[in-house]
Amino acid sequence: MRTALWIWLGLAAAVALVVCARLWRRLGSRLVLASALPPALLVLALANFMGPLERRSWMVDVTKNRRNTLSSITEGVVDRAREEVRITAFFVPGEPGWETASAVIKAYERLSPRVKVRFVNPEQQPGLARKYEIEFFGQVVIEGAGRRERANFADEIDVTGAILRLTRDRAPRLCFVTGHGERVPDEITGLNELGRALDRSQMEFKTVSLARATTPLEGCDAAVVLGAKVPLLPEERDRWRAYLGGEGKAMVLLEAGGPDMSAWLPAGISVGEQPVSDAESGLVDDPEAVVAGIFGASSAITRDLAPVFLLNPLPLAIDRDPQGEGGVSIAKLLITTPTARIGDRQGTLLLAAGYDRSGIVPDGEGGRTRISRSRVFVLGDVDWVLDGQVELLDNRRLLGNALEWLVRQENLIDIASRPVNPPVLLTSSDSRSVLLSSVVLPPAVLLTIGVVVAWARRKR
Amino acid sequence: MLVRRELRASFSTPLLYLVGMPLLALSGWYFYSVLVGDRTSELRRYFSQLEFLLLLTVPLFSMRSIAEERRSGSLDLLLVRPVGEGAVVLAKMAGIVATVLALLTPAFVLFVASVARLGDPDMGAVAAQSIGAVLVLILVASIGILWSSMTKSQILAAAGALGTNVLLWLMGTGLSEAQLRLLSIRWHTDAAETGLIAVTDLAYFIGWSVVLLAVARLGLMARRR
């Protein structure tokens, strides 16, 4: 910025010098100085004014939804980045949503001089798109500190989440709970794909037993329970409750036909014993399957998910207590169609919930406090993460979103989604009338005015 | 009074109609292609193209402003009047800006009405984009005035202004060094096109316009002496 300012000033000074030198003799020094001084002072004043400023401090966002303004959460994440962050957005200009998305990406560049942004058209640079393993238009790659992260959508939640992953001091650690017949990421239990996905997401994982230590989940960013088949022992239950009652984060996927699972769930969430059937949403070749394409809440987990999601076979329904404890929110993440059934009961049923409890707790000495947060993602089925099924529809993204939501420190869920301009619906008659009124009418009116002016002049 | 004189002179010459009709037709075509091609009520791409169009056409409006008056001798008559050189230069610039705005504004109102009928345009963004386009217009008019004040030849004035405009535009592309881009028109219209009003951009356009008009004024002062 400073270099550019000097170039700016230098050019102005050079122009002024050349002109002054030519006019000096003809005009006299006083006149030249009197004329050149005000603009020179103005340039200097502008330079002094502009120099120490960063662009973001002196901008007003006048758009309806303040689409160019990033949240304070994002500002904090970007400020904490110690090294350069390079954002490469793969867009085809003119694609739907491109305008809004590019405005958001450019807003990151304005936040900090350490953020560098470039836009790549994958149609013009297919080699670069291949190098970055771009799967679809609109993906954004974020690089820095020798690492690379990916955001599937060029919006604030995804991009800030990717920067956060990039700037984390260490990889998040997931602890897979064992000892109750749970599945863990390996070939034997059919979770090979899950293990690979965790590697790609730069998440570490290990297995833990609740029975073997008093604080088995210490050092874990989130615990994962995949289809427990045996009830918890009393000591295990106490440890699990202590974990969730503190700042524990957990993914609990339940399996139909198992024992009473309520001990795994936080207060305010319970699970039905009978599986859900939803003939209305079933696949043609698998009527038993439940395809859930209905998302109960706008959340970081289900946002922008493809409109279908497969649960096979027969998930359990989740119940939530709306009169839960204070500071707790339980989001309805995945719901069935109104035709779903459990036994004789019919209606819209909850299949997945996001439990979020936050509160202020003491932090060290001196009366300091901090926000404590516990989160649990509960889904009444485990088969959807198995090899062969995790690849189906949008299962992989649901899994990734849920894990990210659990291990994040920041509450990115609070970042509001920016509404994209709805497409303009043009009929062929609309198109014709716009063509006439924009391309033909204005020049025709000007031509008419010209003819009238010429005629009036000739008459005079 | 001087601005009115400039406006009257502009609308009584065939040049305005010869340049104005293609300008309006192209501007309308850009609007149509953005609306039908992108199917969005977002006008950012239209404004980007309109600004480039202004770089190409405004030199044709500004080339006569002082050069023609010098050639015909009417500049000397103007300068013997009790008006300052600064007022003359400002009136020339304001005359060009008013002429182009008089050409484009009715069509633009029609465009916005079309978008509002078919979609839901962000009027805040449209306002910022319009301000950006007007700032570009003021700067390129100032460049044109300076070139017109330096020569008797209208062709040379138009070619010089056109070359300067294109150079200032190209500085904002991938062809130029990153630091040079900060000097380009393209760089400073970007924020307005996305719906942001930036003080640095206002300073760039107004600052440069003032410097260029001040230099043009010096040229007129030298002539009066």
pLDDT of A53 over the 50 cut: no
- Which pLDDT score, from 0 to 100, does residue A51 have? 47
Q: Sort strands A173-178 and A204-209 into parallel, antiparallel or unpaired.
A: parallel
| Chain centre distance of CA A258 | 35
- Which pLDDT score, from 0 to 100, does residue B11 have? 81
Cα–Cα distance list, A34 to A30, A95, B218 (Å): 6, 54, 10
pLDDT of B34 over the 80 cut: yes
Strand partners, A437: none
- Find, in chain B, the residue whose alpha carbon is nearest to that of A42: B207
Residue from B112, B164, B189, B218 whose CB has the most chain A CBs within 10 Å, to mutate = B218
Q: Sort strands A294-295 and A341-342 into parallel, antiparallel or unpaired.
A: unpaired
Q: Which of A254-268, A306-320, A381-395 has the lowest mean pLDDT?
A: A306-320
Please tell me the distance from the alpha carbon of residue A209 to that of residue A421, in angstroms, as a whole number. 50
Work out the average pLDDT over B88-92: 89
pLDDT (tens digit, 9 = 90+) per residue, B125-182?
Answer: 999 999 999 999 999 999 999 999 888 888 999 999 999 999 988 876 665 555 566 7
Residue from A29, A62, A451 whose CB has the most chain B CBs within 10 Å, to mutate = A62
Higher pLDDT, A298 or B187: B187
Using a pLDDT cut of 90, give the percent of chain B over it: 42
pLDDT (tens digit, 9 = 90+) per residue, A1-21?
Answer: 455 565 666 677 677 667 766
Q: Which residues contact A340 (CB under 8 A, 6 or more apart)?
A: A276, A277, A278, A280, A281, A290, A346, A347, A348, A349
Q: Is the Cβ–Cβ distance between A80 and A167 less than 8 Å?
A: yes
Residue A42: strand, helix, or coil: helix
Cα–Cα distance list, A432 to A125, A426, B7, B31, B74 (Å): 35, 10, 34, 13, 48
Q: Read off the pLDDT band of A230 (50, 70, 90).
A: confident
Select the residue of B107, B127, B190 nearest A62 (Cβ to Cβ).
B127
DSSP string, A102-127: HHHHHHHHHH-TTEEEEEE-TTT-HH
Cα–Cα distance list, A139 to A98, A240, B49, B222 (Å): 11, 39, 26, 59
Work out the average pLDDT over A241-261: 84
Please tell me the distance from the alpha carbon of residue B221 to that of residue B217, in angstroms, as a whole number. 6
Higher pLDDT, A71 or A435: A435
DSSP state of B82: S
Q: Read off the pLDDT band of A28 (50, 70, 90).
A: low
pLDDT of A364 over the 50 cut: yes
Select the residue of B180, B210, B217 nearest A35 (Cβ to Cβ).
B217
Q: Between chains, do B45 and A94 touch, taking CB under 8 Å as contact?
A: yes
Please tell me the distance from the alpha carbon of residue A130 to that of residue A145, in angstroms, as a whole number. 22
Q: Within an 8 Å CB–CB cutoff, is residue B151 touching chain A?
A: no
Work out the average pLDDT over A419-432: 76
The pTM for the full model equals 0.62
CB pairs under 8 A between A and B: 193
pLDDT, chain A, mean: 78
pLDDT (tens digit, 9 = 90+) per residue, A272-317?
Answer: 877 777 766 655 456 566 666 666 666 778 866 765 566 655 667 7
Q: Sort strands A140-144 and A85-90 into parallel, antiparallel or unpaired.
A: antiparallel
- Highest averaged pLDDT of the listed ranges A157-166, A187-196, A332-341, A431-440: A431-440
Select the residue of A7, A63, A425 nearest B124 (Cβ to Cβ).
A63
ipTM of the complex: 0.87
Least Cα distance to A418 among A95, A149, A117, A154 occurs for A154
Work out the average pLDDT over A392-404: 81
Select the residue of B32, B190, B217 nearest A435 (Cβ to Cβ).
B32
Please tell me the distance from the alpha carbon of residue B66 to that of residue B54, in angstroms, as a whole number. 20
Q: Is the Cβ–Cβ distance between A315 and A336 less than 8 Å?
A: no
Q: Is the Cβ–Cβ distance between A286 and A312 less than 8 Å?
A: yes
- Which pLDDT score, from 0 to 100, does residue A381 have? 85
- Which pLDDT score, from 0 to 100, does residue A394 have? 76
Work out the average pLDDT over A187-215: 80
- Find, in chain B, the residue whose alpha carbon is nearest to that of A110: B191
